């Protein structure tokens, strides 16, 4: 067989592969594929386009802020367990053993002696709080409130993650459609360049028309490159939000968006806000922070109250020495040396160097700070709803207007194409009609995805699940 390369003829022989060689290649390729898929499964990297639900699940699993919120919740639960434990008696015991040399008091005879004395001491004690100015009860109540706040903070973090993911997901879908539009525009321009080139060669059109179209093709190629870069950046932003390594294969599965069935909620801003205030976790958490601060004031006031407690102690020991020529057995000494005590302790704070007063002042300030934070959270929520509602309304108006504009420009471009093919208009007029159509299509895509995202945000404020279906 002869092959022509750069004008030269090179003879070559047919290549034959033995069955054994092909079999080895097949096994090698199959093994590589298995290794690639198993490696992806072990590292947790997703394979294939991801749906919105998969993106949300990956983000919830990997997000460090959410993990931190869950650990903070565990800390609050531990603090609640500690506070609850203060309601029950405490108990402790101790055991010690040792030797003494030189002159010391014999624990048995209570006389000074100079000799080695060994001893074993055993004791137990318990303490029961009877009254502490209701500080224990208030501390338990505050700890329970902090646990509930921790749960709400976890829910808030999850909601924020889902909103961020759906926003970045929509950006990727939008960028992908922009690439499709640019590719369609490039195909149309390329077809016109080829047709015009034939007409110029035949002398039916001037060379200037071909040059104008070639310039337009170069511009369209640049727009396609820019659209591809924007698509890549959108995919990069989404992968970074998911905390997974970015590769060129990372992509999403764009769902079918039924714009015709997508309508803004019938409620106004005030109604949406009223619903959101009652269901969103960040609002509930801010309200509970005020309650926790109020309990903190009661705790600080309790420091001015007396405290009453009951203590009990048991003690015994053993000494390894002979008394009056007779050595007492271990258990008998423990029994003979057994002593018990019980007492009640009343502590009345009279002057604490202003510590209690300063603590009460800080508690009142903390309550005021919590009230300000609650107002800030609700104000931010209202502003977010107002922005989302206004943006959704504007996007809907823009989408409806862009739809009509695209329909009109499509017909205008169809007529311009027919006139250009018969020489009724020059290349410049044809390019103007084409650019007007593609710009209108880009505006339509922008308003479409803006409208979809804003409506989904409003649905979120009404407690509806986040989905593009």
- pLDDT value of residue 446: 83
Cβ atoms within 10 A of the Cβ of 45, count? 13
Shared domain for 342 and 267, answered yes or no, is: no
Cβ atoms within 10 A of the Cβ of 315, count? 15
Nearest of 359, 340, 363 to residue 349 by alpha carbon: 359
Shared domain for 355 and 344, answered yes or no, is: no
Shared domain for 333 and 195, answered yes or no, is: no
Distance CA 463, CA 460 (A): 5
Pair 50, 241: CB distance under 8 Å: no
- pLDDT value of residue 1: 37
Domain holding 187: CATH number? Answer: 1.20.1600.10
Strands 117-131 and 112-114: unpaired
Extended strands (E) in 298-338 = 307-319
311, part of any domain: yes
Give me the numbers of helices (H) and strands (E) for the chain, helices first please: 10, 8
Q: Where are the alpha helices (DSSP H) in 102-245?
A: 135-201, 207-242
Shared domain for 332 and 434, answered yes or no, is: no
User: Above 90 in pLDDT, residue 330?
Assistant: no
Domain holding 311: CATH number? Answer: 2.20.200
Nearest of 140, 38, 165 to residue 86 by alpha carbon: 140
User: Above 80 in pLDDT, residue 261?
Assistant: no
Strand partners, 309: 129, 345
Task: Please spell the DSSP secondary structure of 177-217, one letter per residue.
Answer: HHHHHHHHHHHHHHHHHHHHHHHHHTTSS-HHHHHHHHHHH
Distance CA 305, CA 298 (A): 11
Distance CA 238, CA 332 (A): 78
User: Above 60 in pLDDT, residue 238?
Assistant: yes
Nearest of 311, 341, 313, 340 to residue 129 by alpha carbon: 311
Average of per-residue pLDDT values in the chain: 83
Residue that is written with structure tokens 């002057």 in the block? 351
41, part of any domain: no
- pLDDT value of residue 188: 83
Q: Looking at per-residue confidence, does 292 or 111 come out higher?
A: 292
19, part of any domain: no
Q: Looking at per-residue confidence, does 265 or 97 come out higher?
A: 97
Shared domain for 120 and 264, answered yes or no, is: no
Q: What value does the mean pLDDT take over residues 253-270?
A: 74
How many folded domains does the chain comprise? 2
How do residues 381-417 score in pLDDT, each as one tens digit? 999 999 989 988 888 888 888 889 888 988 888 888 8
Task: Please spell the DSSP secondary structure of 337-366, one letter per residue.
Answer: T-EEEEEEEEE--S--TTHHHHHHHHHHHH
Lowest-confidence pick of 105-114, 213-222, 229-238, 303-312:
105-114
Distance CA 170, CA 179 (A): 14
Domain that holds residue 97: 89-131+306-348
Distance CA 367, CA 288 (A): 11
Predicted TM-score of the model (pTM) = 0.76
Distance CA 318, CA 52 (A): 74
4, part of any domain: no
243, part of any domain: yes
Shared domain for 300 and 311, answered yes or no, is: no
Conformational region of residue 32, where left means phi above 0, alpha means psi within -120 to 50, and beta covers everything else: alpha
- pLDDT value of residue 321: 62
Strands 307-319 and 112-114: unpaired
174, part of any domain: yes
How do residues 7-53 score in pLDDT, each as one tens digit? 333 333 333 333 343 344 434 334 443 334 344 434 445 556 999 89
Nearest of 253, 273, 255 to residue 265 by alpha carbon: 273
Distance CA 428, CA 419 (A): 13
Shared domain for 138 and 174, answered yes or no, is: yes
How do residues 417-466 score in pLDDT, each as one tens digit? 888 777 777 777 877 888 888 888 888 888 888 888 888 888 888 888 77
Backbone dihedral angles phi then psi of residue 94, each to the nearest 5 degrees? -145, 155
Q: What value does the mean pLDDT take over residues 212-235?
A: 91
429, part of any domain: yes
pLDDT band of residue 287 (cuts 50, 70, 90) is very high
pLDDT band of residue 75 (cuts 50, 70, 90) is very high
Of the segments 11-20, 229-238, 308-317, which one has the largest average pLDDT value?
229-238
Q: Looking at per-residue confidence, does 297 or 132 come out higher?
A: 297
> At 61, is the secondary structure helix, strand, or coil?
helix
Shared domain for 314 and 441, answered yes or no, is: no
How do residues 111-150 score in pLDDT, each as one tens digit? 777 777 788 889 999 998 888 888 999 999 999 999 999 9
- pLDDT value of residue 48: 65
Pair 61, 78: CB distance under 8 Å: no
Percent of the chain with pLDDT over 90: 41
> At 47, is the secondary structure helix, strand, or coil?
coil
Residues in the chain, how many? 469
Instruction: Please give the structure tokens belonging to residue 84.
Output: 């609850």
Distance CA 315, CA 340 (A): 6
Shared domain for 362 and 233, answered yes or no, is: yes
pLDDT band of residue 260 (cuts 50, 70, 90) is low
Instruction: Please give the structure tokens belonging to residue 189.
Output: 């321009």
Backbone dihedral angles phi then psi of residue 344, each to the nearest 5 degrees? -115, 135
Shared domain for 315 and 404, answered yes or no, is: no
- pLDDT value of residue 325: 45
Nearest of 39, 63, 70 to residue 240 by alpha carbon: 63
Nearest of 6, 281, 278, 5 to residue 149 by alpha carbon: 281
Q: What are the respective helix, strand and coil percentages of the chain, to the nearest 5? A: 65, 15, 20
Strands 307-319 and 339-347: antiparallel
Pair 348, 306: CB distance under 8 Å: yes
- pLDDT value of residue 255: 80
30, part of any domain: no
């Amino acid at each position: 067989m002869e092959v022509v390369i750069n004008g030269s003829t090179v003879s070559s022989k047919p290549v034959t592969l033995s069955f054994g060689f092909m079999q080895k290649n097949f096994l090698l390729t199959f093994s590589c594929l298995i290794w690639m898929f198993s490696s992806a499964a072990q590292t947790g990297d997703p394979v294939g386009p991801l749906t919105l639900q998969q993106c949300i699940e990956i983000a919830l699993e990997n997000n460090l802020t959410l993990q931190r919120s869950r650990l903070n919740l565990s800390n609050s639960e531990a603090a609640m367990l500690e506070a609850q434990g203060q309601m029950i008696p405490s108990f402790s015991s101790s055991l010690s053993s040792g030797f003494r040399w030189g002159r010391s008091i014999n624990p048995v005879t209570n006389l000074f002696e100079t000799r080695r004395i060994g001893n074993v001491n055993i004791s137990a004690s318990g303490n029961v709080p009877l009254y502490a100015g209701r500080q224990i009860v208030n501390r338990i109540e505050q700890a329970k409130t902090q646990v509930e706040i921790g749960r709400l903070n976890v829910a808030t973090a999850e909601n924020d993650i889902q909103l961020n993911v759906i926003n970045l997901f929509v950006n990727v879908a939008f960028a992908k459609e922009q690439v499709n539009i640019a590719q369609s525009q490039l195909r149309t321009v390329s077809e016109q360049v080829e047709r015009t080139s034939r007409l110029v060669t035949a002398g039916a059109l001037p060379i200037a028309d071909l040059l104008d179209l070639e310039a337009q093709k170069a511009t369209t190629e640049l727009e396609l490159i820019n659209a591809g870069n924007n698509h890549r950046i959108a995919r990069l932003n989404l992968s970074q939000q998911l905390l997974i390594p970015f590769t060129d294969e990372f992509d999403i599965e764009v769902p079918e968006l039924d714009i015709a069935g997508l309508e803004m909620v019938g409620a106004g801003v005030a109604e949406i806000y009223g619903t959101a205030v009652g269901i969103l976790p960040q609002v509930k958490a801010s309200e509970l922070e005020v309650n926790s601060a109020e309990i903190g004031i009661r705790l600080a006031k309790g420091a001015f109250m007396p405290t009453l407690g009951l203590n009990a102690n048991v003690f015994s020991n053993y000494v390894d020495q002979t008394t009056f020529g007779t050595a007492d057995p271990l258990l008998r000494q423990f029994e003979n040396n057994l002593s018990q005590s019980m007492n009640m302790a009343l502590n009345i704070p009279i002057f604490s160097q202003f510590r209690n007063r300063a603590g009460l002042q800080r508690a009142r300030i903390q309550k005021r700070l919590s009230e300000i934070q609650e107002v800030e959270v609700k104000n931010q929520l209202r502003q977010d709803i107002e922005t989302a509602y206004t943006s959704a309304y504007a996007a809907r108006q823009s989408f409806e207007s862009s739809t009509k504009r695209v329909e009109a420009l499509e017909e205008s471009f169809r007529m311009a194409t027919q006139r250009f093919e018969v020489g009724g208009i020059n290349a410049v007029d044809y390019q103007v009609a084409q650019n007007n159509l593609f710009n209108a299509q880009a505006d339509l895509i922008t308003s479409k995805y803006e409208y979809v995202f804003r409506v989904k945000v409003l649905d979120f404020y009404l407690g509806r699940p986040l989905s593009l279906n």
